[in-house]
Chains A and B, each alone.
Chain A
Amino acid sequence: MDVIQVERIRKRFGNKDALTDVSFSIPKGEIFGFLGPSGSGKTTLIKILTAQLNPTSGQASVFNQPAEMMQQSAQKMRFGILTDNSGLYERLSIEENLELYRKLYNLPRSSIDEVLQFVNLSGERKKKVNLLSKGMRQRVMLACAIIHEPELLFLDEPTSALDPVNSSHIYKGLRYLNEKGTTIFLTTHDMAEAELICNRVAILYQGQIQTIGSPKELKRQHRENVVCVDLINGEAYELPIDEGTADQIADWMKRGLIDRLETKEPSLGDIFIKMTGSELL
């Protein structure tokens, strides 16, 4: 079953197209990455899917209902969202912020302890939000977005302000949520992040999807048909994958000369640059 279906979505602001003819679907239980540079239309799409914006044309449905229905309370219980537009109450503590969300979602008290553990902030619960670092704020906002264990989670650059240790903690948590059944729609310009946690990714550039598939598939599609060989004597070769190379490698192996052997796979960042001719910023 598809949780999100997007068909030929177009969104125009003034005389500029933010999204052009965007189509894709996301099955239940997937972690889907929407990759692209800043201003490529990623946040606009999240806003359309959460009924904050109407598309100029095309259709979007979430949970098999038109995206506009996401304004209803019953639907809002089913998804969580963390975007650049998320905010926290500065004069309240972390716990008081979460207490508000707990009550709005009608959850038991234990949900606060669970979510604080999830974002690794159990020891800081009494701290006022205005005293928190940017990374800690991001984790509190994530906690507010997932406190009700949503079926669908929209994350807009969730680890942009986090250090590698906290990012890795969040990835672990997202995988755990995903294993429990949460479908995750993630936007990022961090290709390594996408490669690490996404089942499938779409690359968005200037409002259009350039390619879509699993990171593995995309890398296979765009890999150069060469094999790189480093020999123990320091010589390095880039050879075409054919019968002659196979014989040559077999010979080097028999003689114990190979130090390193690998196919030349591009990263998602390389694929992005190849497809758009532009750097990811």
Chain B
Amino acid sequence: MSISLKRARAIFVKDYKEFSRNYAVSIMLLFPICLALILRSAPPSLLHGAIGIVLNTSFVILPCFVQACLIAEEKERNTLRSLMMTPATTMDVLIGKSTLVFVMSAIVLTISTYILGYEPASIWAFVAAIILSIILYTAAGTICGLFSQTVLEASLSIIPVAVIFTGAPGGAFLVDDYPILKVLEYVPSSQLVYLLGIPNIGFTTGDLLKPLLIILAWTVVLTIVSVVLYQRRLKDE
């Protein structure tokens, strides 16, 4: 599958211009920062819980919701079909469209983490988890957007993602009462919370690798699903 960085960059620049003039969606950038400001007064013992809430909620609102809206708006206005008729390949379009959301999310989440004053056990594992999670939620947003016909539908379609992914770490606490909820421990948001809670001393590489590999597996699967779904949308059947 060929990729033209020139074309991907052209789509990124176009998306940036559109996004910066779309105040209804661009205001979402403030949400993680506001949430971080509210939760920064949390006591140190609850800090990893606070950062978990900020990150997992922000992933749904930024990469997932914004990406779903950007894709759905293109479908609603028929611009996605026009884009599909140009020489831009599936990867050019998906990379171009995802880069904007990726860059914005990375900047906003860095600011939010700084506001909260969180210090991870391993900065590399933390950065890897954040990068993988942004890609993962962007792919989930792409899937929601491709299934929607309008921006309104896209807003509604992310509700299951929000409920399952944001609610999973909380649901995992009920495992003792409801053993079936053990499955929620394997949701990427639960793995992220687990990773964030690893103490700064006395951890092993294995402690860091397990959650990272689970998040990576989710990222790979959702990315493949989003690419396959986009390619199916190339047909107007």
- Cβ of B14 < 8 Å from any Cβ of A? yes
B17: contacting residue among A77, A87, A96, CB under 8 A: A96
CA distance A105 to B22 in the complex (A): 26
- Chain A residue total in the interface (Cβ 8 A): 30
Nearest neighbor of A74 in chain B, beta-carbon distance: B87
B18 cross-chain contacts in A, Cβ below 8 A: 89, 91-92
Once the chains bind, are B235 and A53 in contact (CB under 8 Å)?
yes
Once the chains bind, are B236 and A90 in contact (CB under 8 Å)?
no
B83 cross-chain contacts in A, Cβ below 8 A: 104
Once the chains bind, are A86 and B235 in contact (CB under 8 Å)?
no
Q: Which of A47, A73, A104 has the largest count of B CB atoms less than 10 A from its CB?
A: A104
Q: For this complex, into which size category does the number of interface residues on chain B fall?
A: 20 to 34
Nearest neighbor of B237 in chain A, beta-carbon distance: A53
Instruction: Name A65-88 residues within 8 Å CB distance of B.
Output: 71, 73-74, 76-77, 81, 85-88
Given A87-B81, A92-B14, A101 and B6 contact (CB-CB distance below 8 Å)? no
Once the chains bind, are A91 and B86 in contact (CB under 8 Å)?
no
Given A52-B236, A53-B236, A144 and B82 contact (CB-CB distance below 8 Å)? yes
- Cβ of A100 < 8 Å from any Cβ of B? yes
Instruction: Name A87-136 residues within 8 Å CB distance of B.
Output: 87-92, 96, 99-101, 103-106
A87: contacting residue among B79, B86, B234, CB under 8 A: B79
Minimum C-beta distance from B142 to chain A (A): 19
B78: contacting residue among A77, A85, A99, A100, CB under 8 A: A85
Q: Beyond A100-B14, A103-B9: 6 further Cβ-contacts under 8 Å?
A: A86-B82, A87-B74, A92-B18, A101-B86, A104-B11, A104-B88
23 A-B contacts, Cβ less than 8 Å apart?
A47-B236, A52-B234, A73-B4, A73-B87, A73-B88, A73-B89, A85-B78, A85-B81, A85-B236, A86-B81, A87-B74, A87-B82, A88-B82, A89-B18, A89-B77, A92-B14, A99-B10, A100-B11, A100-B14, A101-B86, A103-B9, A105-B87, A106-B6
A contact residues vs B (CB 8 Å cutoff)? 47, 50-54, 71, 73-74, 76-77, 81, 85-92, 96, 99-101, 103-106, 141, 144
B contact residues vs A (CB 8 Å cutoff)? 2, 4, 6-7, 9-11, 13-14, 17-18, 21-22, 74, 77-83, 85-89, 234-237
